Each structure stands twice: as structure tokens, then as C-alpha cells.
Amino acid sequence: MSEATPLQVEDDELALLTDLYQLTMLEAYWKESMRERATFSLFFRKMPSTRRFMLACGQQHAAATISRLRFTPAVLRRLAATGRFHPEFLAWLGEWRFSGDIWTLPEGTPVFPNEPLLEVDAPIAEAQLIESLLMNLVQLETVLASKAVRIVMAARGRPVVDFGLRRMHGVDAAVRGIRAYRTAGLSGTSNVLGGLRHDLQLSGTMAHSYILAHDSETNAFRAFARHFPGTTLLVDTHDTLEGVRQVIELLQEEPDLRIEAIRLDSGDLGELARRSRTLLDAAGQTHVKIIASSGLDEYEIATLLDADAPIDAFGVGTAMGVSADAPVLDLSYKLVEYAGVPRVKHSTGKVNLPGRKQLFRRRDQQGNVTGDIIARREEVIPDAEPLLVPLVRHGRLDEAHMGDAGRARERVAAILPRLPERLRRLEPHDDAAYPVILSPALESLAAFTRQSME
């Protein structure tokens, strides 16, 4: 790298964010004049053991990006310089546009193993080329939203704020991650660019360095609270309870100061919260809230709340920022149909569902979700809702199906209480937790395809 290497990837460069074999296969299809339509299905076979459902997220971003994807002359020159590609193929790439359809679950839909998260119907050269970028984009937001929603559930209605920018994997993860967090139901973020771009409330307190840079903790508190009425003060730089006492003294000296909350960032958070609450209440400062942070995840939060710790809001960073216990979702993007003929790779012990599909979700009369049916695309299943919608048609985004992240957030908030209670638990999942069956028509097609390929 030289100093001049830009940090950021330009939008125009995204056509290059692909695996080399996509381009070589594309050149092969081009040489072989293989232009039939194919369908690829995006799904995962296994859920991480510490998830009970995944929250599909990122498909809109991915679809919008793919509908704009072009090989610009500058990009083609970089490919030509590799000496790997035929000039006529590169000229053809310059004309490449995604002209196909993308059927997808709406963002914020709970999704389970083997269910199609998204299906692409397009000439094979188009459906193949977008694989790597599509998977990269969808995986990130799905992984982060699926972790964040667990933390939101663990907090039982208390606000959860993201503090994870510094630990997320690079710039794109830190910015698009906020979109996933918003969908999952977080209340705020410390991440300025992420919050501004994806419309999640900004939130922030102070760092220990601010306290240390002043002569005394009290002077630091006073200066900050005067500058920022309604602020949160970080009380654990030296001794947490001593810090709380200084906040109380400050409020007694200057009753007009508005201090909204104190933040505990180390030690036994439950015990410190209880003792801080007692001190604050005894001083009549019942309105001063307590925010806890420091290595929190869904389990820690649940443990604190099970013990009735008087914590009003949680700041969560590291564990959520990389979905530390399950940083990867093993997404597959598989050819399931070519030239009108259903196809699958035969793998011992693996489910591979051929053909174009639709996913149906059943609810009982109270509106509670009871199970899913994976079916062929054209099927109609009575009393069940088809979930895959055509977000892209003939290469164009269908505005009717593009909701904003706010809509996805509402969708999540509405569905969570309707999921079976066992899906909302934090413990490792059991495979029987949620029924997903195949429609008889898809069962027959799968059996027929297996036989015909043997």
C-alpha cells in the first residue's frame, strides 16, 4: 500500500467485489453461449447453536446495489490488465446489466434453516456474477440483526444503545451494522455516521480520559454538565460510589444542573447499580437514571435483570458488534433450476431443495406464528402467508416492496411477541423448536430431482 491508496471502496468498484471464479465461469458461459435462465436460492443449512432464529436483513441494500451494478470503463481496464480475459468478453461485460428478478423475504423476517431467504431468477451469467457480493452484503446485516435482537429481548423493554463502532469489522460493517441494529429494535447508537445515515438516535456520554484530563473528577463533572444539560456522567474512573457521591454533591451545590443519568462501566454492575440507586434516592435524586455498560451481552443483561438490578438502560459494544458468539452464518447460494429444469447438487446428509420456491408462514386464530411450509413458487397454501416478494423485477427495484428500515423495525416489533415462546429464549436452540415442513409438491419434486440426477 502506498500513502495514496484510498481507504474507501468506490461504488463503481463494487462490480469487482467478486470471486475470480465468477468472472471465469462467466467467460465460459459467454463462450459456450449458455444464456438460459437459472434460479439460485440463498439459504442456510444450520443455525449457529446460540441462535433460535435468524432475522433476515440486508436484502434491500443488496438488491439496490445489484440493480445498479455496472462494469465501468475504468473497471474493465483493471480487468484487462490482469491478462486473464478475452477482450470481447470484457466488451460484453461492459454491457452487463442485471435484468433478472429477485424474490426476497422482507427485512426483519425471522428465518430458519433451509428456508429461502432470497431467490434470484435471471440468465445464468447474471445470477452467477452477483453471488459473492450478494452473500457478503446479506450476511453482515443478518448476522448483526440476529445478535442484536437477542440483546433487545434480554433487556425486556429497557433501551439498548450501541457502543460498538471501535470493535466492528471495518467501516462498512460499522455503518451498515447500524441499519441492522435499527431493524432489531435498538434505541440508539454512539456511532455518528451510522446513526445519521440510518436514522438511529445518537447517544453518548463521556470517556474516562475526559475525567483524567481534569484536575479532579468533580471539576470534570461540573464542566461537562454545564456544557451539556441532560447529560450522562461516567462515575467509575476512580471509585464508582465516590463518583456517585460527587454527582449528588454537585446537584446539591447547583440544583439547576440537569444530569439525566450516571453510567457504570466496570466492576459488579448489579451491586454497584443497587448501591448507586440507594445513594441517589436517599439524596432525592430519584429521576437520575442508571446506565450500565462494560462487556455486556444478552446473558449478562438477563442475569442482571433476573437479580432486579436497578438499571434503566444498557450500552452494548463488543459482543454485539461482531456477533462474537456466532460471527458467521453459513449461507449457501445454490443453483436450483437451469433452463426450466430443477437441479441440485447431491450431497449426503444435506438438504438441497430444487426449483423456484415460496415460503409460507402459518398463524393460529390469535395471530401467533405456528410454523412454516417451504413450497414451490407457484403454489397457493390456504391459510398461510407467502413471504417472498419480488423486490426486483426485470432488473428494476419495485418501490412497492422497498420499505425503509423503519418499516422493518416495526415488522420485528410486531412479530416478536407472536413467535412461539421457546424461540424467544436465550438458551442454545433445540432442533424441534420450530416446525418447518415441505409442501407435498416440493417433496415430490425433490424426490424426482434426486432420482433423475443419479
Write out the binding residues for a second copy, residues 297-326 only, by CB under 8 A.
318, 321-324
Binding track over 96-125 against a second copy, x by CB under 8 A: ----------------------------x-
Decide: helix, strand or coil at residue 370: strand
Q: Count CB neighbours of 66 within 10 A.
A: 23
- Residues in contact with 215: Cβ distance below 8 Å, sequence separation at least 6, in sequence order: none
Q: Does 21 bind a second copy (CB under 8 A)?
A: yes
At its nearest, how many Å lie between a second copy and the CB of residue 136?
Answer: 5
| Candidate ranges 15-23, 150-158, 271-279, 412-420; the one touching a second copy (CB under 8 A) | 15-23
Q: Which of 52, 61, 289, 357 binds a second copy (CB under 8 A)?
A: 61
What is the end-to-end Cα distance of the chain in Å, rounded?
50
Q: Does 140 bind a second copy (CB under 8 A)?
A: yes
Grid coordinates representing 288 are 437520575
Question: 115 vs 236, which CB is nearer to a second copy?
Answer: 236
Q: Does 380 bind a second copy (CB under 8 A)?
A: no
At its nearest, how many Å lie between a second copy and the CB of residue 439?
Answer: 23
- Residues in contact with 219: Cβ distance below 8 Å, sequence separation at least 6, in sequence order: none
Q: Which of 405, 438, 445, 446 binds a second copy (CB under 8 A)?
A: 405
Q: Which of 90, 111, 135, 272 binds a second copy (CB under 8 A)?
A: 135
Binding track over 321-360 against a second copy, x by CB under 8 A: xxxx--xx-xx-xxx--x----xxxxx-------------
Q: Does 389 bind a second copy (CB under 8 A)?
A: no
Rounded to 5 degrees, φ, ψ at 8 are: -90, 155
> How far, in Å, are 147, 208, 233, 253 from residue 226 at the CA level?
37, 18, 12, 13
Q: Does 74 bind a second copy (CB under 8 A)?
A: no
At its nearest, how many Å lie between a second copy and the CB of residue 163?
Answer: 7
Sign of the C-alpha dihedral computed for residues 212, 217, 222 and 225 taken in this order: positive
Cβ–Cβ < 8 Å for 435, 113: no
Cβ–Cβ < 8 Å for 103, 388: yes
Question: 97 vs 345, which CB is nearer to a second copy?
Answer: 345
Q: Which of 192, 282, 307, 414 binds a second copy (CB under 8 A)?
A: 192
Question: 124 vs 280, which CB is nearer to a second copy?
Answer: 124
HEC profile of 291-337: EECCCCCHHHHHHHHHCCCCCCEEEECHHHHCCCCCCCCCEEEEEEE
CA dihedral 115, 417, 55, 59 (to 10 degrees): 90
Cβ–Cβ < 8 Å for 63, 391: yes
Q: Does 204 bind a second copy (CB under 8 A)?
A: yes
Radius of gyration of the chain (CA): 26
Q: Which of 76, 241, 381, 402 binds a second copy (CB under 8 A)?
A: 402
Kindly state the number of chain residues that form the binding site for a second copy, as judged by CB under 8 A: 115
At its nearest, how many Å lie between a second copy and the CB of residue 110?
Answer: 20
Q: Which of 90, 153, 165, 438 binds a second copy (CB under 8 A)?
A: 165
Q: Does 82 bind a second copy (CB under 8 A)?
A: yes
| Candidate ranges 77-85, 94-102, 150-158, 250-258; the one touching a second copy (CB under 8 A) | 77-85
Q: Does 224 bind a second copy (CB under 8 A)?
A: yes
Instruction: Give CA–CA dist 263/234, Å, rounded.
Output: 5
Question: 22 vs 99, which CB is nearer to a second copy?
Answer: 22
At its nearest, how many Å lie between a second copy and the CB of residue 370?
Answer: 31
Q: Does 137 bind a second copy (CB under 8 A)?
A: yes
Residues numbered 245-284 forming contacts with a second copy, rule: CB under 8 A = 266
CA dihedral 295, 298, 302, 308 (to 10 degrees): 50
Rounded to 5 degrees, φ, ψ at 262 are: -115, 155
Question: 34 vs 436, which CB is nearer to a second copy?
Answer: 34
